[in-house]
């Protein structure tokens, strides 16, 4: 029997098709399962804007507390982008950034780290391109 031909166009255009993802269980949240995916280009751009403001905005030296707040804001942008429910739907919207920043903690940071680990590093990409 011939194998059914898949609709490559539909597969490539499916929401989330361009991202690696994985399902993880979060014990701290009552063992709920969430989907983590690689960050989008838009989230990376916003993260970069937050962490590297225009020179005029950074004329004065930031205190440790200000740097920490800025770094948390950047992490929150990425966290909002990568956290999905079991159906693959985004849990938070960008409008939730203040709320998420107010409660952002080690569990959120660990989940973000796992999502970032889904990305292919330059070294990994080079290894794969050399493999037969």
On the question of pLDDT at 127 being above 80, the answer is no
Tens-digit pLDDT profile for residues 13-62: 888 888 999 999 999 999 999 999 999 999 999 999 999 877 655 567 88
Average per-residue pLDDT for the chain? 89
- Asked if residue 129 is part of any domain, the answer here is no
User: Distance between CA 13 and CA 9 in Å, rounded?
Assistant: 6
Residue 15: the pLDDT is: 81
- Asked if residue 101 is part of any domain, the answer here is yes
Domain total in the chain: 1
- Asked if residue 56 is part of any domain, the answer here is yes
CATH of the domain at 81: 3.30.2220.20
Q: What is the pTM of this model?
A: 0.82
Q: What are phi and psi of 4, to 5 degrees?
A: -65, 135
- Asked if residue 40 is part of any domain, the answer here is yes
- Asked if residue 34 is part of any domain, the answer here is yes
Residue 3: the pLDDT is: 80
- Asked if residue 67 is part of any domain, the answer here is yes
Residue 16: the pLDDT is: 81
Helix H or strand E segment including 36: strand 32-37
CB 72 within 8 A of CB 104: yes
- Asked if residue 3 is part of any domain, the answer here is no
Higher pLDDT, 123 or 88: 88
Residue 62: the pLDDT is: 84
**What is the residue range of 60's domain?**
17-119
| pLDDT classification of 1: cutoffs 50, 70, 90 | low
Higher pLDDT, 61 or 101: 101
On the question of pLDDT at 102 being above 80, the answer is yes
- Asked if residue 108 is part of any domain, the answer here is yes
User: 52 in helix, strand or coil?
Assistant: coil
């Amino acid at each position: 029997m011939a194998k059914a031909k898949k609709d490559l166009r539909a597969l490539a255009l499916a929401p989330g098709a361009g991202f690696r993802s994985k399902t993880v269980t979060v014990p701290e949240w009552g063992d709920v399962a969430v989907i983590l995916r690689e960050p989008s280009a838009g989230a990376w751009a916003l993260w970069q804007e937050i962490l590297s403001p225009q020179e005029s905005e950074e004329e004065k030296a930031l205190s440790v507390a200000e740097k920490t707040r800025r770094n948390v804001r950047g992490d929150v942008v990425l966290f909002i982008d990568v956290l999905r429910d079991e159906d693959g739907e985004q849990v938070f919207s960008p409008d939730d950034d203040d709320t998420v920043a107010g409660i952002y903690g080690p569990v959120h940071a660990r989940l973000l780290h796992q999502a970032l680990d889904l990305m292919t590093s330059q070294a990994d990409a080079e290894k794969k391109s050399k493999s037969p």
